[in-house]
Structure 1
Amino acid sequence: MRKILVLAFALFSLTTGHIFAQIDQSPEVGVIEHLGKQIPLDLKFVNDKFQTVTLRQLITKPTILSFVYFDCPGLCSPLLEGVGDVIRKTDLTLGKDYQVITISFNYRDTPEKAKEKKKRFVDKYSSGKGDGWIFLTTDSASIFKITDATGFKTKAVGLDFVHPSAIIAVSPTGHITRYLYGITFMPIDFKMAIIEANKEQARPTIQKILLLCYSYDQTSQRFALDVTKIAGIIIVFFLLVFVVVFLLRPKKKNKN
């Protein structure tokens, strides 16, 4: 019996170690949460009005950061549609209670493209509150610094990029307080992210744990169910049940 328990514990440790180590892995493409960390506020960007600005100048209220590139054939437009949709559904006022800053992670993108992209989404979603949704471009060095600071990892493939889909809540002092994943967002999640950012409260994301069951498909630029991970989690569950049963049953017999 003792040998069985030792073997079960060893298998349990190996399996859980393999699965939960994936939380701390540094993916080539994906998001590594840097909750509570301050973003570099003195990086220079060019806004959609062709003005050179820093994040320190811009971030004076709760801010939602989104990273896209303007010629993206995949996730970027749906992400911005999702942001626009939740702006429209949230009872907080864009430009007053919070702001959205969209940063291009393609150094080839220009302020002209930023202006064009902004017009499309502001006209459609934000009821003319253009000053509350800012589009920025910058050089490759600044792109690396801001994406590295926020844990947003992309991979260049020719002139395109493989990249994750997420938005990031930042406090008025520039600290990261929440990550929201996907291309659509629940108004309550969006609102709570803004409220928590205003209070400087960093919250872990349950979606990060749920993503353990998914792998990022670089070809389709989507998250797909990972059968191997799911099987591993199931094995862990049954091993845990096995260990508990064999540890508890002998104690009950001895009492009798």
Structure 2
Amino acid sequence: MAGVEAVPPPNGSLPLSLLVQGEKDIKPLREWLGATPSVWVLADYTCKSLCGSTISIVAEALKNSGLKPGADFRFVVVGLDPKDSVADALTMKHEQIGSDGELVRNSHFLRTNAAAIRELTNAFGFHFRYDSEHDQFAHPLAAFVVTPDGRVVRGLSALALDAASLRLALVDAGRGQVGSVADHIGLICYGFDPVSGTYTLAVGRLLAGTALMTIIGLAALILVLLRREHVAPSR
């Protein structure tokens, strides 16, 4: 297990020209990103232990995030084992996500060769070990949030993942294009803890968020009073 970890490099970005195969098409990585933030998981499609559970946990958090698949995000899984087939990937997808629905239609289970897998996992800061004797992979249980232009902005602990943290990470990666005003205020109050891989409430951020909401409230009140004064009948 030495060296098995997920530590995204600062300002890291994915190799956008890397060729990756989906259910039918082989396309450069940039075309799998689309125009929305995306959540990525690296898994072994024939794993019989925790890979399926990791995908299921992330998928459930996405379902409960309140965000819309396709419009606000897409979900991408990449196979760690170059020997896995399209059938292996589809089996994992259907077992852990289902066979229909918006999340299924906006989830892509990809495969590529060994060299490309290494290049991609290095870009994520995802370090794993292959046990050839048992044909198994020792790897971190992590989910990554990526911007539409391929920058890795968050590495989240898959086992500690919850819908609220995943929503905040996607709002953060959306750069103003995803989420509500309340979400963006929430980002002021919550800070990302790289040790736990989750968003946590920070007192300083909370005070800043409260102050911002107070200013917005006062500005709205002043605007209402000015309008009332403007329309008040003269005597």
What TM-score comes out, normalization by structure 2 length?
0.71
- The letter of the residue matching 1:208 is V
Q: Percent identity?
A: 21
Asked if residue 163 in structure 1 is aligned to residue 139 in structure 2, the reply is yes
- The letter of the residue matching 1:177 is V
Instruction: Specify the alignment match of 1:104 in structure 2.
Output: 79
CA spacing shift, 1:101–1:193, aligned 2, 3 Å: same
CA spacing shift, 1:133–1:195, aligned 2, 3 Å: same
Quote the offset at 1:209 in angstroms. 6.1
CA contact (8 A) 2:53 2:96 kept: no
Instruction: Specify the alignment match of 2:6 in structure 1.
Output: 31
CA contact (8 A) 1:63 1:170 kept: yes
SS, match of residue 72 in structure 1: coil
Q: 1-side partners of 2:165 and 2:58: how far apart?
A: 12
Asked if residue 174 in structure 1 is aligned to residue 174 in structure 2, the reply is no
Asked if residue 193 in structure 1 is aligned to residue 169 in structure 2, the reply is yes
Quote the offset at 1:74 in angstroms. 2.1
Instruction: Specify the alignment match of 1:149 in structure 2.
Output: 123
Q: Structure 2 matches for 1:105-124, cutoff 5 A?
A: 105-123=80-98
Over aligned residues, Cα RMSD in angstroms?
Answer: 2.3
CA spacing shift, 1:168–1:162, aligned 2, 3 Å: same
- The letter of the residue matching 1:196 is D
SS, match of residue 40 in structure 1: coil
CA contact (8 A) 1:37 1:176 kept: yes
Equivalenced residue count is 181
CA spacing shift, 1:205–1:155, aligned 2, 3 Å: farther
Q: Which runs of 5+ in 1 are unaligned?
A: 1-26, 211-256
Which digits, 9 at most, give the CA deviation of each residue in 1:187-237, with x for residues without a partner? 11000110111119xx98414268xxxxxxxxxxxxxxxxxxxxxxxxxxx
CA spacing shift, 1:96–1:146, aligned 2, 3 Å: same
CA spacing shift, 1:182–1:80, aligned 2, 3 Å: same
Q: 1-side partners of 2:191 and 2:9: how far apart?
A: 10
CA contact (8 A) 2:63 2:103 kept: no
Q: Structure 2 matches for 1:229-248, cutoff 5 A?
A: none
2:195 to 201, 208, 213: 208
Which digits, 9 at most, give the CA deviation of each residue in 1:27-74, with x for residues without a partner? 5211122132111011111102x2101211111210111000011122
Asked if residue 56 in structure 1 is aligned to residue 24 in structure 2, the reply is no
Quote the offset at 1:113 in angstroms. 1.2
Q: Which runs of 5+ in 2 are unaligned?
A: 177-189, 198-235
Structure 1 segments of 4+ aligned residues over 6 angstroms from their partners? none
Q: 1-side partners of 2:56 and 2:160: how far apart?
A: 8
CA contact (8 A) 1:79 1:184 kept: no
Q: 1-side partners of 2:85 and 2:192: how far apart?
A: 33
> Which structure has greater helix proportion?
1
Q: 1-side partners of 2:41 and 2:11: how far apart?
A: 18
Instruction: Specify the alignment match of 2:233 in structure 1.
Output: none
Instruction: Specify the alignment match of 1:219 in structure 2.
Output: none
CA contact (8 A) 1:180 1:205 kept: no
Instruction: Specify the alignment match of 2:215 in structure 1.
Output: none
What TM-score comes out, normalization by structure 1 length?
0.65
Q: 2-side partners of 1:87 and 1:81: how far apart?
A: 10
CA contact (8 A) 1:179 1:205 kept: no
